[in-house]
Amino acid sequence: MPLGLMLGIGRTFRRKRTSSLDILSSKRAPRDYYKGKNCKPTGFHTRKGGYVIQPEKLPNYVVPDLTDFKLKPYVSQVAREIKTAESTETSK
């Protein structure tokens, strides 16, 4: 038997090592493992399968009053360069 053929057969029977850095999912972990989506819980599960939302765990966004605000909420993709007196003084 040629040497190359013997080496090829040996490679097919060799098992690949599983890396310890593989992504841990619920299919590779124990039965009760729940990974989630990297977000904080907003409540808790009840014994009968319900879910109770706790208001103190909900995100609270504080938005200031933007009436009479001179800036626009969006920036144009084609911005124009505007020369002001301050920018000409600093460039000199």
Give the pLDDT of residue 18.
57
Count the Cβ atoms, other than its own, within 10 Å of residue 59: 7
**Average pLDDT across the chain, whole number:** 77
Q: For 43, which DSSP code?
A: E
pLDDT digits 0-9 by tens, 24-42: 777 778 877 777 777 888 9
For 73-82, the pLDDT digits (tens) are 777 788 788 8
Q: DSSP state, 45? A: E
Q: Work out the number of other CB atoms within 10 angstroms of the CB of residue 42.
A: 14
